[in-house]
Structure formats: C-alpha cells, structure tokens
Chain A
Amino acid sequence: MQYVIVGIGGQGILFASKVLGKIALERGESVIGSEVHGMAQRGGSVISHFKVGDYRSPLVMAGEADILLAFDQSEAVRNLHFLKKKGSLVVNVHDRKALENASLAGLVRDREINVHSLEGYALLKEHMGGNFLFLNVLLIGAMCGAGISGLSFAEVSRAVKELSPPKFQDANMKVLALGAEAICSGR
C-alpha cells in the first residue's frame, strides 16, 4: 500500500504517517516513507510519502499511489499525478466552487479516481470550536470512514490514542469519529 499525504506546512501532516507506521509495526509489516522538515515546512506545500510492504525507496513514484490524503484542496490537485488508476483521494475541501473545472472532472473520470471529500474547516468550526489543529486527526478519520486503507476503525483509533498527548486524547477520539462519519454520511 502506497500513500501520499499532502498539505500546507503547519497543518500537522506528519502525524498521519506516524499513525500509519504504528499500525504497520503492530501488524508486523515493513514500512518506509519520506517526510519534509525544515524551511519547506514553513507554510509552503508539504508532502509525505509512506509505503507499507516490501519496498526499498522511501518515495512513491508518480502514478503509483493507492491513496492521496490531502489536507488542502489545491495541494490535492497539484499532486493528483501521484495517484494510480482507480486510486482514492481523501480531500479537505474549503471552497467547492473553486474546484469546478471540466479538465479536473475529466481527469477524475479518465483515471477512475474515487473521491472522498469533506469540509474539514466547517466541521471543526461546528464541533471543535474552530480549533483547526485537529485537521490531521479529522482527515485520518475520513480515510478510515472511506474504507479504502484496509485499516479498521478500532486499529486506527487505538494508534491515534496512543500517539496523542494525554490532554488531547479525548478530543482526538471525538474528531476521529467525526471524520469517519463525515465521509460515511457524504458531508
């Protein structure tokens, strides 16, 4: 399984690969991935690669990713070439109108991409007092809810819980469920 996780520096995308890594370790699977640290982290486009299985390279090659987990809709489009045919996109959308584009729709159709979108900022405003730091857990929940990663909610939930600082554990559990439900209910 090959994941590409994209977003903007500061959105906490590194947490997602930590969760995936923890689950793989418990399953006894090999993992390798690549992260962005340093200057590129400061508010710019960021990307994490994560591969579970028998791989040597930490990087996912264009056209090979099973899942693209996008914390930002523009970054999702910019990195769509990483997805393989019939791959799945989980994307946080903040401006649906801005994504209305014939070429994009054509691409999604041609490549048979499964799109799972949620309005993360609106959800966090409604349920978490607008604390957008929870976006990472929300997106992980959404990926889980989409049922595309082969990971059970219980597994993901346990990993997120163990990796959360104690004071955020309860809130993270709530947000994880929120993300999963958002995808299931198509919001």
Chain B
Amino acid sequence: MTEVSRTVSTKAILLGNEAIARGIVEAGCLVASAYPGTPSSEILPAVAKFADELGSPMAVEWGVNEKVAFEVAAAASFTGARSCAVMKQVGLNVAADPFMSAAHFQLKGGMLLVVADDPGPHSSQTEQDSRYFAMFAKVPCFDPCSAAEAKEMVFDAFDLSERFGIITMLRPSVRVDHCRQDVELGELRPPKGQVKFEKEPSRWVCLPASVKVNHPRLNAKVEEIRAAFETEFGKYNYEVPSREKSVLGIVASGVCFSVVSDILKEWGREDVAVLKIGTPHPLPVKMVTDFISRHPKVLFLEETYPVMEMQLPDRTGILGRWNGVVPGAGELLPEVIAGILAKILGMDQPSGEGSSLLREALEDLKITPRKPMLCPGCPHRASYFSIRQALPNAVNPSDIGCYTLGVNQKAVDAVVDMGASVTMGSGFFLAHKAAGTERPIVSTIGDSTFFHMGIPGLVSAVYNRHAFVLGILDNSTTAMTGGQANPAVGDKLRKGDEGRKVDIEAVCRGCGVTFVRTIEAYDVAAGKEAVKEAWEHAQSRSEPAVIIFRHPCMLLRPQQPVVQVKVDPEKCIGCKFCINFFNCPGLVFDETRSKAYIDERFCVSCGVCISVCPHGAIAEVSEEGK
C-alpha cells in the first residue's frame, strides 16, 4: 500500500481506492466489511490503515464472501451506526439477495455500498454495470470521475443514505479505483447518532406484508432523490458550456467525463458542450432533457451499459448505445471515444493502433501481448502438473483466482464463478452417471474461494454422493487480488485485532468427506499418487474426496531451498512437453535451436521442473557448475 506522503497542504498522492478508504474513515463509519476482488481490493486494507492512523474505533473486517460482508454492514446500519460494504461488480451478484431486500428498508445509520466495476474487463468474468443493479434495486448511485471526486462522494453518499434511510451505492470503475491522483486529506469526523437497536419488527423483518408498505415508500424515495439530484448536487452534476455555438452536446458520466474533457481540450474544440452527471441513478431527467433540447446533436458516454440512456423518456433523438454509435461492449478508452467523436464531428479518424510501419514491425518481430500466467515458482503449476499426470483423461472444473490461469497448463476446462468448481464437479458426475458413462473428475479451488462459496457445494456433494476429487490449492493467501488474509490464514486487518485460523481439513471432515489428504504441492510424485488414490476412493464409494495441495504463494516470498536448474541441450529432444504442460515463464523454448532453456530473468530456482522433463534433460546445477 502507498505510504501517504504528507505536505503542508495535507495533500497526498493516493490510489483511487485509498481515496475512497480515506473518505470512509473520515466520514465516521463504524463498521466496514468486504471481500477482496479486483478492482476493489485495496479499499478495505486502506480503511484499516487510515483507521489506525486517525484513531477511529471502527471495525474493519474481511467477510468470507460478499453476502456476508453486505449483511454485516446492513445489520450495523439497523443499530444506527454508519456502515459500509465493499466489493467488486460480480461480488454484488453474490450479495444480490440481501441487497435487493435491504433496499426496501427504512435504514437508521447511513449505509454505503461501494461496488467497483471493471469495464474491459481487466480482471473479471463479466463487465456488467453496477449502476444497472442500483436501478434494479431502486437505490441512488454516485459515479465518480476521479479519485478526488470519489472521496468527496463518500461523505454525500452517507448523508444521503441517512436523509432518506436508503442504501447508497458508490460505483467507481477500474480507472477510478486504480487511478493515482493528488487528493486532499481531512480529519476524522465524529460518528453521527448513537448505536442503539430498537425492536421494531415491521421495520426490520422483511415479511410480505411489510413489502406492501415498503415498496411504494421506496418508489416515493426514488422520486424525492431524483428531485434532490436535479438541484442540490451541482458539484457532481454540471454543464461545461461551449465557448462557441455548439455543434454537439455530450452527456458523460464517470471516468468518460474525464476522458472526453482531455480529448476536447487537446483538440481545441470550443464548439462542444459537456453535461457531467455524477448521479446517474435516479437520473436528473429535467436537467438532461433541458441540455438535450439546447444542442443540435447529443452523445451519451457512460460505462458499460446505457443506464442514463434507458432513463430518458425518449432516447430516439440522441446518439448512444441504442443506435450503435457507442459500442455495446468493451472499455471506452480514449482512443475509442476519440474515434466516436471524430466520426460525429466529421474529423479524420485518429489511428489508435499506430502506423503501418509499427504493425509491420510487430508482425516481423512476432511481438504479441503477453498473456497473464502463473508466476515462476507458483505452487499451482506443480499441483496442476500432478493432477494432469495422474488422470490425463479427467474433466477439470476450476474456479476464480490465480489458478484460473491453469488454462495455460491445460488443466482447467470450465470456470463459471466463485465456488462453481465444486458444484460443476457434481454436475459433470451426474450427467455422466445418468448417461451410463464414467469419467474421472478433478476440480480445483483456492483456499479463499473454498471458504467464499465452496463449502455449500461440498456439503451437497457429500449428501448426494457425488464422485469427484476436489483439489484445494492452499497457498495461504488470497493471491490474485494482492495477498489478503482469509480464514485459512487467520490474520485480521486492524492493528491489535486477532483472528482465529479455520482449519480446512477439519472443515472438509466436518462436511462429511472421508478422504482428506494434505500434501506438499511441490512434491509432484506424491501429488500424482494422491490424486490417483483419491479418485479410486471417490469412485468406489461414490462420494467426493479432497486433496489439499499446500505451499505458500510466491508473492509472500517464502523462504525455501534454492534449486538452481539447467537444461542439458544433449538430453533435450525439443519435444516441448515442458512448455505445453508446465508452462513456466522461467522455462522457455529456443525455436532456432529447438531446445528448451532456463530464462534466468524469471526463474526463481524452485526446482519443480526437474521432475517434469520425461527425458531427464532438466537437472540441478552441480556445486562446481554454479
């Protein structure tokens, strides 16, 4: 995390996520809970850090999943405390149930829901727009255009939540979360109100009878908030008028506003006006339709769904997604927006990809984007190799985490969402069983993902007697998102807080699994044997079997033996087995010599590849060879 560098003006360069975190602490939030997920992951650790620095009494905790985090925060709000839940866009899918329900409540303490979206996407399985979810649940949404604005919006979101007794969503997109900007720092504000839960079943129990009252009240709130957004939030919703007679008006929300502002400035266009909208739901419709009426053409720029567009009484007169002017998928990068604008304004199309010379050079030099891959020394690579070697014919469902990158090791066949490796194991088993056929199934899931949503599927598989092997890849951290703690680790976020470690083996046994084996992930031979044995157990008894592949994540920089390796060019026959099935950045192939070799720029000397080469060409460098 960034060290906050203080100056006299109390400005600091913060990551957008740190700016949001700073706002949450300064606003006097008392309970903050989250599950990590890119691009939201840095928020909660920064909340803990600022809470420690500013001496806030607040609780800051990772929940085991987003549903847990959301419900923890919601109940805190029932007591009158300001609370906050933080997650990524697909995390809100997990928390959708309490979100939809609690949206109907007349809350007591302000409740902020921060949902980070990932247009692109860069690190997600969808590029869904959470503002749509806000519209679905009928709650207000703030869409920041920068880190500084995101921080400011936190205060207003809490105030708005308390004023209307409603959950308020702050929806930063990845370019706000991971933008680095100078941000003003403030002091801790005293918590508002007092924490006191009052029994009032009609308010806190979501019976159908209450919905008959709550839903019309919610509809009324939406209209009151819309009216407030029309007039009171000029700092987020404002017009940047054109200096000359306008040829085009642009309605832009979130980071699209920032991008389009820089483009117009660079191009020196004085004949384009921009209406910035920071509160896309409920849309200040009067403000927007007034703007539309004053410009010959109006373009809507927002990510990634047409949320503002959809709220217009009539959108047939505007340029946007409904008529294909704005692409319906992908991130609205500066080059994309510049292309759209150039077309509308009749300018030359700027070439985003560079000249033909550059394209030729890239082709000649065979340079393509480098795909993400498991780190050198990653224990998952060894686990996958064991699994593939033991049962080459197996179906391999997997899950969400670094280990999804096991596609490069040809050891990942299907991934849907958090926890689905376990339930897909069941589905593959049942389909084959019903068809009267059989195929080995080895699923893989990480330690944090197992706790997140793997357990219900495992209980279901034990109960229904589904035969498959579940490999839990325990690297003692939530690695993909930057190394957060989880129940398998037991650490907590705030200084002085002590957690308790939850034992994965005990959980599996408690769920009724009779075969639970833990092995050292680097030990490929042991892994291979364990997988074979586990499948035999699962198959013969018709029940799931669990193997825990344990070895710390390389990002934790574990102390481990250094095994310096080399490829013997005499023994290497150029079969590429190691490249195709082990696929390590430190072990590469020289096409001209047709030999594998160690790329010392990346090799971390874990030594696992020694057991990979079927021809014994990879060996430890002898003492005298070092």
Chain A residues near B (Cβ < 8 Å): 8-10, 17-18, 21-22, 24-26, 28, 30-45, 50, 55-64, 74-75, 77-78, 80-81, 94, 98-99, 101, 103-104, 106-107, 110-111, 121, 130, 132, 162-163
Specify which of A58, A99, A111, A163 is in contact with B179 (CB 8 Å cutoff). A58
Whether B365 and A39, one on each chain, are in contact in the complex, defined by CB atoms closer than 8 angstroms, is: no
Whether A106 and B357, one on each chain, are in contact in the complex, defined by CB atoms closer than 8 angstroms, is: yes
Whether B258 and A34, one on each chain, are in contact in the complex, defined by CB atoms closer than 8 angstroms, is: no
Whether B179 and A34, one on each chain, are in contact in the complex, defined by CB atoms closer than 8 angstroms, is: yes
> Any chain A CB within 8 A of the CB of B393?
no
Whether A35 and B15, one on each chain, are in contact in the complex, defined by CB atoms closer than 8 angstroms, is: yes
Whether B601 and A38, one on each chain, are in contact in the complex, defined by CB atoms closer than 8 angstroms, is: no
> Given the complex, which residues of A lie within 8 Å of B224, measured CB to CB?
none
Specify which of A80, A98, A132 is in contact with B601 (CB 8 Å cutoff). A132
In chain B, positions 363-409 with a C-beta closer than 8 Å to chain A are 364-365, 367, 369-375, 402, 404-405
A selection of 24 A-B contacts at a CB cut-off of 8 Å is A17-B180, A25-B12, A31-B182, A34-B175, A37-B42, A42-B373, A42-B405, A43-B373, A45-B369, A50-B180, A56-B259, A57-B263, A58-B181, A60-B334, A62-B335, A77-B358, A77-B365, A77-B367, A81-B352, A99-B365, A101-B361, A101-B365, A106-B357, A107-B355
Specify which of B175, B358, B481 is in contact with A80 (CB 8 Å cutoff). B358
User: What 0/1 pattern do residues 252 to 295 of B give for CB contact below 8 A with A?
Assistant: 00010111011100100000000000000000000000000000
Nearest residue (CB) in B for A7 is B370
Q: Known: A32-B146, A56-B262. Contact between A78 and B362, CB under 8 A?
A: yes
Nearest residue (CB) in A for B408 is A43
Interface of A is mostly: mixed
Whether B262 and A38, one on each chain, are in contact in the complex, defined by CB atoms closer than 8 angstroms, is: no
Interface of B is mostly: loop
Whether A59 and B334, one on each chain, are in contact in the complex, defined by CB atoms closer than 8 angstroms, is: yes
Whether B370 and A8, one on each chain, are in contact in the complex, defined by CB atoms closer than 8 angstroms, is: yes
> Given the complex, which residues of B lie within 8 Å of A162, measured CB to CB?
5
Whether A38 and B41, one on each chain, are in contact in the complex, defined by CB atoms closer than 8 angstroms, is: yes
Nearest residue (CB) in A for B599 is A94
> Given the complex, which residues of A lie within 8 Å of B352, measured CB to CB?
62, 81
State A45–B261 Cα separation when bound (angstroms).
28
Specify which of B180, B259, B370 is in contact with A45 (CB 8 Å cutoff). B370
State A22–B123 Cα separation when bound (angstroms).
28
> Given the complex, which residues of A lie within 8 Å of B373, measured CB to CB?
42-44
A7: min CB distance to chain B, Å: 10
> Any chain A CB within 8 A of the CB of B298?
no
Whether A43 and B370, one on each chain, are in contact in the complex, defined by CB atoms closer than 8 angstroms, is: yes
Whether B266 and A61, one on each chain, are in contact in the complex, defined by CB atoms closer than 8 angstroms, is: yes
State A99–B365 Cα separation when bound (angstroms).
7
> Any chain A CB within 8 A of the CB of B131?
no
State A94–B41 Cα separation when bound (angstroms).
34
| A-B pair number, CB within 8 angstroms | 187
> Given the complex, which residues of B lie within 8 Å of A45, measured CB to CB?
369-370
State A47–B38 Cα separation when bound (angstroms).
16
Nearest residue (CB) in B for A17 is B180
Whether A61 and B335, one on each chain, are in contact in the complex, defined by CB atoms closer than 8 angstroms, is: yes
Q: Known: A40-B123, A44-B371. Contact between A32 and B180, CB under 8 A?
A: yes
> Any chain A CB within 8 A of the CB of B482?
yes
State A34–B375 Cα separation when bound (angstroms).
23
Q: Known: A25-B182, A162-B5. Contact between A130 and B123, CB under 8 A?
A: no
User: What 0/1 pattern do residues 400 to 433 of B give for CB contact below 8 A with A?
Assistant: 0010110000000000000000000000000000
User: What 0/1 pattern do residues 170 to 185 of B give for CB contact below 8 A with A?
Assistant: 0000011011111000
> Given the complex, which residues of A lie within 8 Å of B480, measured CB to CB?
38-39, 42
Specify which of A24, A30, A74 is in contact with B365 (CB 8 Å cutoff). A74
> Given the complex, which residues of A lie within 8 Å of B38, measured CB to CB?
37-39
Specify which of A34, A64, A132 is in contact with B266 (CB 8 Å cutoff). A64
A9: min CB distance to chain B, Å: 7
Nearest residue (CB) in B for A61 is B334
Specify which of A31, A110, A121 is in contact with B181 (CB 8 Å cutoff). A31
Whether A56 and B146, one on each chain, are in contact in the complex, defined by CB atoms closer than 8 angstroms, is: yes
Whether B350 and A63, one on each chain, are in contact in the complex, defined by CB atoms closer than 8 angstroms, is: yes
Whether B354 and A62, one on each chain, are in contact in the complex, defined by CB atoms closer than 8 angstroms, is: yes
Whether B369 and A44, one on each chain, are in contact in the complex, defined by CB atoms closer than 8 angstroms, is: yes
User: What 0/1 pattern do residues 209 to 234 of B give for CB contact below 8 A with A?
Assistant: 00000000000000000000000000
Nearest residue (CB) in A for B16 is A58
> Given the complex, which residues of B lie within 8 Å of A32, measured CB to CB?
146-147, 179-181
User: What 0/1 pattern do residues 7 to 23 of B give for CB contact below 8 A with A?
Assistant: 10101110100000000
Whether A37 and B482, one on each chain, are in contact in the complex, defined by CB atoms closer than 8 angstroms, is: yes
> Given the complex, which residues of B lie within 8 Å of A121, measured CB to CB?
601
Whether B354 and A80, one on each chain, are in contact in the complex, defined by CB atoms closer than 8 angstroms, is: yes
> Any chain A CB within 8 A of the CB of B145?
yes
State A44–B370 Cα separation when bound (angstroms).
5
Specify which of B11, B13, B123, B145 is in contact with A38 (CB 8 Å cutoff). B123
Specify which of B123, B338, B370 is in contact with A61 (CB 8 Å cutoff). B338
Nearest residue (CB) in A for B353 is A81
State A60–B175 Cα separation when bound (angstroms).
12
> Given the complex, which residues of A lie within 8 Å of B13, measured CB to CB?
18, 21-22, 24-25, 31
Nearest residue (CB) in B for A50 is B180
A127: min CB distance to chain B, Å: 16
Nearest residue (CB) in B for A110 is B357
Name the residue in A22, A25, A35, A57 with the highest tally of chain B Cβ atoms < 10 Å from its Cβ: A57
